[in-house]
Amino acid sequence: MDKFLIVTNRDKDKGLQVTGFIQKYLEDRGARCRLAKPLQGNDALVTGYTDTSSLRNDVDCVLVLGGDGTLLQTVRDFVGMDIPLAGINLGTTGFLAAIDRDELMSGLDALLQDRFTVQKRMMLKGQVFRGERSLQESMAFNDVIVTRSGYSRLVELKIYVDGHLLDIYAADGVIVATPTGSTGYNLSAGGPVVFPQTEMMIITPICPHSLSARSVVVPADAQVVVEVGKRRKTQKEEALVTYDGQTVWNLETGDQVRVERSPIYVPMISIRQNDFCDVLRNKLKNVQ
C-alpha cells in the first residue's frame, strides 16, 4: 500500500512531532500521505474530518495515532467505508494498536511492503426503545454499556437473550462487549478475554450485588435486550446507555436497549508476527 491518511490525537502528539516523522518517512519512500483535518477550533478532537466521501478510492490505509480511545472514535468516523485502519499507540496499554511506538519504523516498513493481514472485526448495533417506539440507535466497536446515573445506588437490569430472561441484576450496570472489546471495560469488570477475530457477544455485570453473577457468552447472531427495571415504587430509575464511551443516551424505567451484531465489519490491520497470546501477556504485564 502507498496511500495513507493520518488521524492524530493532538493531545497525545504535541506539535505533531510523531505525525510529521511518519509523514516524512512514508513520503521519502514514495508513498502519498496526508493529514486528516479536525473540527475547526478544536484540534484535540478526532471527529469531524472533512471530505470523507472520496476516501474509499483515495486511501489504502488510515493510520491512527493515539490510544485506544482515539482509534474507537476513528472507527466511528469511518464506519462502513471499508478502509483498513492501523493504530499507532501513543497511549498507555493500547490493545487495539497494530504498531507500538518502539517499533514505529519496522511497522511502517511492513505496511509499505504489504507484510500484514487484515482482520474483519465485528461491531454491535444498539437501539433504545420506549414501548414499541425507537428513540435512538448507534453502533459500537468495543461495547454497549447500560449504567446507573444520578445518585450512587444500584439499578435493576433485566437481561433477555432471544426473548428469554437470562438474569436480573441489581448492579452498577451491565456491559455487552464484542471480542475486540473484551480487553476494555469488560476486562476491568472481571469478564473473560476473547480472541478478537472470533464472533460472539459477552454480557458482564458491573459490580453486581450478588455472589453468583458471572459473565455470559452468547452467539454473535443473538439479540440481547437490557431492560431498566423498577426497584422503588415511588421513583423512576435513572440510567444511561453509552456506545464505546462516546455516544450517551438517558434512560428511564421500562426502557429497553436492544443489542445485536451489526452487518458492518471493521477492517483492522495486524502486522505482528507474534500471536494474540503474546500481545495479551506483554500488554497486561506492563499495566501499572
Residues annotated as catalytic (active site), given as ranges = 68
Q: How far apart are CA 7 and CA 97, in angstroms?
A: 13
The residue count of the chain comes to 288
- Beta pairing partners, 174: 146, 205
- Picking from 89, 62, 88, 91, the residue whose alpha carbon sits closest to that of residue 76 is 62
For the chain, the first-to-last Cα distance in angstroms comes to: 36
- Picking from 63, 64, 67, 65, the residue whose alpha carbon sits closest to that of residue 91 is 67
Q: How far apart are CA 63 and CA 66, in angstroms?
A: 10
Strands 164-171 and 155-161: antiparallel
CB 52 within 8 A of CB 31: no
Q: Please report, in range form, the residues annotated as the binding site for NAD(+).
A: 68-69, 142-143, 153, 172, 183-188, 246
The residue assigned the cell 455516544 is 247
The residue assigned the cell 487495539 is 96
Q: Please report, in range form, the residues annotated as the binding site.
A: 68-69, 142-143, 153, 172, 183-188, 246
For the beta carbon of residue 180, count every other beta carbon within 10 angstroms: 27
